Structure 1
Amino acid sequence: MLLAGRYRLEAPLGSGGMAEVWQALDERLGRRVAVKLLHPRALPPERERFLLEVRALSRLFHPGIVQVLDLGEEEGRPYFVMELVEGGTFDRLGPFEEGPEGDRILLAAAQVMEALAHLHAQGILHRDLTPKNILLTKEGYPKVMDFGLAYLLQESRHLTRTGYTLGTPTYMAPEQAKGLPLTPKADLYSLGAVLYRTLTGRPPFEGENDQAVLYQHVYEEPKPPEALNPAIPKGVGQAVLGLLAKHPEERLAHPDLFHSALREFQALRLATPRAGASRSGHYPLAPDPRRLALKGKLDLGGEAAWPGEMVHAGGRVYLGVGRGLVEVDLLTGEVRREALPEEVTAPPVVRGGVYVGSWDGKVRRFRGRHLEWFMETGAEVTAAPLALGERVYVASRDGTLYAFHKDAPLFRFRAGGHLSASPTFYRGLLFVGSEDGWLYALDPETGALRYKVRTGPIHAPVAAGRGLLFIPTWEGEVYAFDPLSRETLWNAAVEGEIWGGLALDGERVYVAAWDGVLRALDAATGEEVWSLEVGKVTAGLSYASGHVFVATEEDRFLAVDRRGQVVFEATGLGAVQVPPLPLPGEVLVASLSGKLYRFAVG
Structure 2
Amino acid sequence: STVYVASHLSGRMAALNGADGRKGWDFRVDGTPRRAPVLTQGLSRQLLIFGTDEGQIVAIDAKSAHDSAPSNAAWTKPLNGPVSGDLTFGWIAGEEEGEGYGLIVVPCEDGWLYGIDPATGRSRWVVRSDATFRGPAKIIGNRVYATNRDRMFCIDADTGHRIWYPASTAGLSEFEKNEFFGPPEGYEHAERVLADDGTRAFFTRGHSVIMRCASSDGSIESEYAMSAFDFFMTNTVTGDLLLGTKDGYLFSFK
TM-score range, shorter chain: 0.5 to 0.7
1:411 matched to 2:36? The reply is: no
In structure 2, distance between residues paired with 1:396 and 1:596: 40
Q: Which residue of 1 aligns with 2:60?
A: 442
In structure 2, distance between residues paired with 1:400 and 1:552: 38
Q: How does 1:428-577 map to 2 (within 5 A)?
A: 428-445=46-63, 446-448=68-70, 449-455=73-79, 456-458=81-83, 459-466=85-92, 467=101, 468-514=103-149, 516-531=150-165, 532-534=187-189, 537=191, 541-546=193-198, 547-563=200-216, 564-573=218-227
Q: Which residue of 2 aligns with 1:86?
A: none
Instruction: Indicate the SS of the match to 1:499.
Output: strand
CA distance 1:589–1:481, change in 2 (3 Å): farther
1:521 positional shift: 1.4
Contact 2:48–2:61 (CA under 8 A) maintained in structure 1: yes
In structure 2, distance between residues paired with 1:410 and 1:450: 19
Q: Which residue of 2 aligns with 1:425?
A: 40
Q: What residue ranges of structure 1 are gaps of 5+ in the alignment? A: 1-389
In structure 2, distance between residues paired with 1:480 and 1:527: 11
Contact 2:59–2:76 (CA under 8 A) maintained in structure 1: yes
CA distance 1:599–1:579, change in 2 (3 Å): closer
Contact 1:550–1:579 (CA under 8 A) maintained in structure 2: no
CA distance 1:518–1:451, change in 2 (3 Å): same
1:453 positional shift: 0.9
In structure 2, distance between residues paired with 1:414 and 1:597: 49
Q: Which residue of 2 aligns with 1:136?
A: none
2:189 is aligned with what amino acid? V
In structure 1, distance between residues paired with 2:195 and 2:4: 25
1:580 positional shift: 4.5
CA distance 1:443–1:507, change in 2 (3 Å): same
Between structure 1 and structure 2, the one with the greater Rg is 1
1:601 positional shift: 5.2
2:2 aligned to which of 370, 376, 391: 391
Identify the structure with the greater strand proportion: 2
In structure 2, distance between residues paired with 1:502 and 1:463: 9
1:409 is aligned with what amino acid? K
Instruction: Indicate the SS of the match to 1:423.
Output: strand
Q: Which residue of 2 aligns with 1:92?
A: none
Task: Indicate the RMSD between aligned Cα atoms, in angstroms.
Answer: 3.2
Q: Which residue of 1 aligns with 2:179?
A: none
1:487 positional shift: 2.0
Contact 1:424–1:463 (CA under 8 A) maintained in structure 2: yes
Contact 2:40–2:118 (CA under 8 A) maintained in structure 1: no
CA distance 1:488–1:559, change in 2 (3 Å): same
2:156 is aligned with what amino acid? D
Contact 1:556–1:569 (CA under 8 A) maintained in structure 2: yes
Superposed CA offset, 1:67-107 (max 9, x none): xxxxxxxxxxxxxxxxxxxxxxxxxxxxxxxxxxxxxxxxx
Contact 2:75–2:120 (CA under 8 A) maintained in structure 1: no
Instruction: Indicate the SS of the match to 1:486.
Output: coil
Contact 2:209–2:224 (CA under 8 A) maintained in structure 1: yes
CA distance 1:404–1:418, change in 2 (3 Å): closer
1:589 positional shift: 6.4
Q: How does 1:342-353 map to 2 (within 5 A)?
A: none
Q: Which residue of 2 aligns with 1:238?
A: none
CA distance 1:414–1:567, change in 2 (3 Å): farther
Q: What residue ranges of structure 2 are gaps of 5+ in the alignment? A: 93-100, 166-186
CA distance 1:601–1:572, change in 2 (3 Å): closer
Q: How does 1:86-97 map to 2 (within 5 A)?
A: none
In structure 1, distance between residues paired with 2:231 and 2:110: 21
In structure 2, distance between residues paired with 1:599 and 1:511: 26
Q: How does 1:45-84 map to 2 (within 5 A)?
A: none
Contact 1:497–1:513 (CA under 8 A) maintained in structure 2: yes
1:450 is aligned with what amino acid? A
CA distance 1:518–1:491, change in 2 (3 Å): same
Q: How does 1:148-297 map to 2 (within 5 A)?
A: none
Contact 1:542–1:580 (CA under 8 A) maintained in structure 2: yes
Identity of aligned residues (%): 22
2:82 is aligned with what amino acid? P
